[in-house]
Amino acid sequence: DSGVTQTPKHLITATGQRVTLRCSPRSGDLSVYWYQQSLDQGLQFLIQYYNGEERAKGNILERFSAQQFPDLHSELNLSSLELGDSALYFCASSVGPPSRDLSSYNEQFFGPGTRLTVL
Amino acid sequence: KNEVEQSPQNLTAQEGEFITINCSYSVGISALHWLQQHPGGGIVSLFMLSSGKKKHGRLIATINIQEKHSSLHITASHPRDSAVYICAATPQGAQKLVFGQGTRLTINP
């Protein structure tokens, strides 16, 4: 158990709908990362938050958005869902902070994932 | 070309064999990670390294920064080692991970 929790575990919805995925980081971790794992594209970085602020963006679609709340949990919102959005969505956390000082990098701990199926 | 390449994509071996999975990357990195993903989907971080070698039980990870290459070795492999092993790089100046495509390892009894 990594200490990172994600809900729900499974989500089945229809095209055009909107869903919210939730992540609670490990106690004490300030950074949250979202990743998407699809069959055809593998694991891809979506977005990172540190202490409530967006710090880095990856291959995140405009239909997707995220935020990190004062209690440090994070939500990933996916809207106007398409069949191709079906994937495993992972959240990871680390102590942080993001820094140019390479020695301050911290290991990431992954949550169990949310499996999204869009029908 | 992907920034992180793994080989082989699939590997089947008999219990007890010595296993090597390779990872090459094309960007400057601050850290290289080896992750394990079991059939249930959960991801576990095995190693994070920026130089040299690390060992944990039967698992050994090495990295050659000059050659931009890392290897994951499993000694005395066991069927419970069957999983997908993923190499991921942290580019310099960033904290996101860039992933290889994974190596599916199957160890037969």
Is the pLDDT score of A15 beyond 50?
Answer: yes
The pLDDT tens digits of the residues spanning B62-73 come to 999 999 999 999
Is the pLDDT score of A41 beyond 90?
Answer: no
Mean pLDDT, chain B, whole residue set: 93
Cβ proximity of A66 and A55 under 8 Å: no
- B45:A107 CB<8 A: yes
CB-based burial label for A22 (10 Å; 0-12, 13-18, 19+):
middle
Q: Does A25 touch chain B (CB under 8 A)?
A: no
Section A70-90 average pLDDT: 97
Q: Does B99 touch chain A (CB under 8 A)?
A: yes
With cut-offs at 50, 70 and 90, classify the pLDDT of residue A42.
confident
Percent of chain A with pLDDT over 90: 76
Query: Which phi and psi angles does B20 have, rounded to 5°?
Result: -130, 130
A·B CB contacts under 8 A: 60
- B45:A45 CB<8 A: no
Q: How far apart are CA B22 and CA B79, in angstroms?
A: 20
The pLDDT tens digits of the residues spanning B30-82 come to 889 999 998 878 899 899 888 899 999 999 999 999 999 999 999 999 999 99
Q: Which of B45, B97, B100 sits opposite A45 (nearest CB)?
A: B97
Q: How far apart are CA A89 and CA A18, in angstroms?
A: 15
Q: Report the residue of A9, A46, A89, A105 to disrupt the B interface, i.e. the one with the largest count of B CBs within 10 Å.
A: A105
Q: Which of B30, B96, B100 sits opposite A33 (nearest CB)?
A: B96
* pLDDT number for residue A104: 47
